[in-house]
């Protein structure tokens, strides 16, 4: 038989021996140690990252503004250069840093270029959306209302949709006007409008008129509001 006090003493000795062996074990990575921290170097790194961020943002805003106010007005229709050229300019970001931020050039790595690429792309897209949409601008084309009608300026009761007419309409005896609405978000009166009417009689004839909506509507439509209310 074993005395209770003897058993407890043996257990305590065993625990002390086990604790000693475990205490000698070093934690994983203990030999690696901690990376030395240099506050001055950290401040310089933060300044380099901040300078890179603002340079990329300013560059993206500049490119978007130049594309909107220099390239787009010179083009008659949309083209792939409007998006391909700004995206190709991504490759100029590293040289731009080396020229304008030469004192931080050694601190920039692939990670900086990767982040700068995404920052440039999304900043450029955001500025483009702002510059081409109301209230600053509107690049969507003007629209002509679906309902285009002929009205008789002397007869408020007579109006007819543009189409085939019969002799019973007596068009030669009427003072006719073509009435339609032009919709645009910015300047409806400045819209360049071309109206062309083709008719066949003894031979095919074409009548057309081109001008700005404001000049084409210089006629005193207000005197005949009853005639055109169904259109506009």
Q: Show me where the domains of the chain are located.
A: 41-131, 143-228
At 195 the pLDDT is 74
Q: In tens digits, what is the pLDDT along the chain, a chain of 232 residues?
A: 556 667 667 777 777 666 555 555 555 555 555 667 788 888 899 999 999 999 999 999 999 999 999 998 888 777 899 999 999 999 999 999 999 999 998 889 999 999 999 999 999 999 999 998 877 877 777 787 777 777 777 777 777 777 666 666 677 777 777 777 777 777 777 777 777 766 666 665 666 666 665 555 555 566 666 666 555 5
User: How high is the pLDDT of residue 229?
Assistant: 59
Which residues touch 197 (CB under 8 Å, ≥6 apart)? Answer: 178, 206, 207, 208
| Residue 178: predicted pLDDT | 76
* pTM exceeding the 0.75 threshold for the entire prediction: no
The closest alpha carbon to 180, from 150, 225, 222, belongs to: 150
Long-range CB contact pairs, 218-225, < 8 A, 24+: 219/177, 221/179, 224/151, 224/153, 224/156, 224/177
Euclidean distance between CA atoms 28 and 8, whole angstroms: 34
Sign of the torsion angle spanned by Cα atoms 88, 90, 93, 94: negative
- Res 215: pLDDT: 58
Please answer whether residues 56 and 90 qualify as being in contact, where contact means their C-beta atoms are separated by less than 8 angstroms.
no
């Amino acid at each position: 038989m074993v005395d209770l006090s003897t058993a407890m003493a043996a257990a305590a000795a065993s625990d002390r021996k086990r604790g000693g062996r475990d205490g000698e074990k070093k934690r994983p990575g203990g030999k690696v140690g901690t990376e030395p921290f240099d506050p001055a170097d950290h401040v310089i790194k933060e300044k380099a990252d901040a300078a890179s961020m603002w340079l990329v943002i300013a560059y993206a805003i500049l490119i978007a503004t130049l594309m909107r106010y220099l390239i787009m007005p010179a083009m008659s229709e949309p083209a792939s250069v409007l998006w391909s050229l700004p995206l190709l300019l991504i490759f100029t970001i590293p040289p731009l840093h080396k020229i304008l931020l030469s004192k931080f050039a050694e601190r920039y790595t692939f990670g900086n270029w990767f982040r700068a690429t995404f920052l440039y792309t999304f900043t450029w897209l955001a500025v483009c959306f702002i510059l081409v949409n109301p209230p600053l601008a509107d690049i969507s084309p003007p629209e002509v209302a679906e309902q285009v009608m002929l009205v008789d300026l002397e007869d408020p009761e007579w109006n007819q949709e543009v189409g085939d007419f019969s002799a019973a309409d007596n068009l030669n005896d009427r003072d006719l006007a073509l009435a339609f609405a032009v919709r645009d978000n910015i300047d409806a009166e400045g819209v360049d409008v071309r109206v062309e009417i083709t008719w066949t009689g003894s031979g095919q004839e074409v009548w057309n008129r081109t001008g700005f909506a404001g000049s084409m509507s210089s006629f005193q439509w207000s005197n005949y509001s009853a005639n055109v209310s169904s259109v506009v």
